[in-house]
Amino acid sequence: MRNEASSSNNSSGRGETVVADWGLSRSTCGYCRTSGRKTSIAHGLWAHSLTVDDYQDLLDRGWRRSGCFLYKPNMKKTCCPSYTIRLKARDFVPSKEQRRVSRLMQRYLEGTLDVKKFVEVLEDPSTSNHYDSLSSVKKDTLSHSNEENNKAEQLLHYLSVQINNAVHTCIESGDFPSGIQLPKASVKIVSQAKRKLLAEGMENLLYSSNIAFQVAATLRRAQLAETEVQQIQVLRQNTQDNGPSRKVIAEKLASSLNKLVENSGLSIRACNGHLNFYSAMNQSPSDNGIQIAILSEESSDVNSKRRCVKSSPEHPQGKRHRLQIHLKTSSFDPQEYALYRRYQIKVHHDKPDQVNEKSYMEFLVDTPLVFVPPSGDATVPPCGFGSFHQQYLIDGRLVAVGVIDILPRCLSSKYLFWDPDFAFLSLGKYSALQEIGWVKENQVHCLPLEYYYLGYYIHSCRKMRYKAAYCPSELLCPLRYQWVPYDVARPLLDKRPYVVLSDFASLQNQEASSPSVSANATELQHHDIGQADSNDVLMDYEEEMLEPESETDDDLSDSETSGLNVGIDGDITNILIGLNQSRVRYKDVQHPILRRSLESQLPRYLKVVGAELSKRMVYSLG
């Protein structure tokens, strides 16, 4: 027998993939636990070792892993068809709800969030309707937010009035010509990004007005209107010298606003024609004579609403908190296991004897992925490729752990468990946003790394539809393994749970450009999020269900195996076989009994992994 390299990955130092075929497995569906009668059917492989390149390609054929066990749902036979879902990180557009989660965490870290009502609702056993109570808290919070927004608007109006008064003063003093209708001033909030960029000394830029530009343009138009047509060319060249420039106008207005400085504690300066309002860096908003609100933009869109975080004597600033996020390679950590056990028992109501170190290790710690260290050549991120645990610590306390795989083209989110005491922070949604951000940041170190995989999307399970809220997402066609936009797939899945999505790929442009489809999808996503757990997490329940001990059904009929959605048949002659310590192609196997045995096994294996992977991965007989 000839010994062959298992794959190009092996020759490049990334190891080799060695798998054993487990055939088809049946188990009770994790999404239909209430009935206990429906069945999940999946093809299984046990991975002795697995390269990150091969696992990336397996993901793109609908596979997932639970520990060292790989599984691919039989989409036509399983009760809850599971579609692989992914998102291109740089195209991600956060929804209003997702921005709210980010702001919630920021307020908590700043010490401005009053969590008492949230904690009382989550822990009060006498609460008859949990979601109604949360809705009540949300309404109270929105009411308080509206009150803050009203006060913020009053402040901006106050500053605008003061500028208009300064303009009137300049007209009376003869600095500006009379008899001309000058524009009214408007004051806008400076975004946090620009605030940091333009930070000057010990001052913090809060607000700005471009009134000087508007006044200068109005005066220039008035001068041109009074001039003969033949003199317009000359006047355009001399207008800046003959009339007041925007810089001069801004300086005059700043000089007239000294009284405002005395009343508010703000400093006002003219800067390149802009009228800027500053506060001291070490001065809290409540130190000012009037109520100064620090506003941060929810969106760069000009029509987006703004949030107000207020600190006042009625709502004193609380304790500030520190969030740390650590990424470590997958390994057993007693602190993580203690958090996992508490999470499973309190959140998922597992029995204490069901949660042990062995099951935890097999589910979330054991991994067949061969670690690839960083290379420094823009092909591997600084952390390397492999399986990782991302720890979230607040004030040094472990509050959440995200189990993830970092692969050549994606970050694949596997599971998240969190401290029930911090349920009010929606750590599941927050961790997803952090993981999407991680992909964006690390693409500069690894150019092909651009996708975020959220596991399986199950349209027939309302609780799992939240994954489509991370948009614009794509679903993998279960037959031809083409990616189809969610907006195209959704109306098809509304009609039946199993769909060959690539058959409708031609509808992509038509459906994506249809406002009704997009609007309906958005409406459904928000509705489903409201129906699901208020702190839904990125996890695959079937990974808890499909363990290596699952029953292997070798008696399934050909009609059942034909439902594996295998794509185009291939030639088994080039499948790589692991026999003892040798690596040979099936066509080179000489033993007649072994050939007959493999001849009955390999066609189904070839169909579910594909021709290319079957040539690279080692089909182990041991």
Considering the domain architecture, whether residues 85 and 136 belong to the same structural domain is answered as: no
H or E element, residue 144: helix 130-172
Domain boundary among 309, 334, 353: 309
Task: From 309, 334, 361, give the residue that closes a domain.
Answer: 309
Domain check: are 205 and 144 in the same one? yes
Q: Kindly state whether residues 372 and 347 are assigned to the same domain.
A: yes
In a domain, 600, yes or no: no
Least confident window among 46-55, 117-126, 472-481: 117-126
Looking at the structure, do residues 338 and 300 belong to the same domain, yes or no? Answer: no
309, 335, 362 - which closes a domain: 309
Average pLDDT, the chain: 76
Q: How far apart are CA 611 and CA 601, in angstroms?
A: 15
Burial degree of 25 (CB within 10 A; 0-12, 13-18, 19+): buried
Mean pLDDT of all residues in 138-150: 55
pTM > 0.85: yes or no = no
56 assigned to some structural domain: yes
Q: Does 622 fall in a domain? A: no
Q: Do 455 and 378 belong to one domain? A: yes
Buried b / exposed e along 158-167 (16+ C-beta atoms within 10 A): ebbebbbebb
Compute the average pLDDT of residues 124-132.
Answer: 47
Supply the range of the domain harboring residue 161: 130-309
Residues 206 and 296 in one domain: yes
| Residue 230 shares a structural domain with residue 254 | yes
- Are residue 382 and residue 500 in the same domain, yes or no? yes
At 282 the three-state DSSP class reads coil
Whether residue 86 sits in one domain with residue 38:
yes
* 438 and 462 assigned to the same domain: yes
Residue 505 is predicted with a pLDDT of 57
Side-chain half-sphere exposure of 519, counting CA atoms within 13 A: 3
573 found inside a domain: no
Please tell me whether residues 88 and 159 are part of one structural domain. no
Is it the case that residue 537 has pLDDT exceeding 80?
no
Share of the chain above pLDDT 70, in %: 67
- Residue 331 domain-assigned (yes or no): yes
Domain-located, residue 620: no
Nearest to 105 by CA among 416, 358, 325: 325
Q: Please state the domain count of the chain.
A: 2
Q: Is 488 exposed, middle or buried (0-12, 13-18, 19+ CB in 10 A)?
A: buried
Residue 293 falls within a domain, yes or no? yes
User: Which among 89, 10, 20 is positioned nearest to 51, based on CA atoms?
Assistant: 10
| 594 in a structural domain | no
Which one has a higher pLDDT value, 504 or 141? Answer: 504
Question: Which pairs from 56-61 meet CB under 8 Å and 24+ separation?
Answer: 56/407, 56/408, 56/409, 56/410, 57/610, 57/612, 57/613, 58/609, 58/613, 59/84, 59/407, 59/410, 59/412, 59/453, 60/84, 60/476, 60/481, 61/481, 61/608, 61/609, 61/610, 61/613
Q: Which residue has the higher pLDDT, 590 or 518?
A: 590
Check pLDDT > 50 for residue 526. no
Co-location of 298 and 341 in the same domain? no
pLDDT tens sequence across 174-195: 888 877 778 888 888 887 767 6
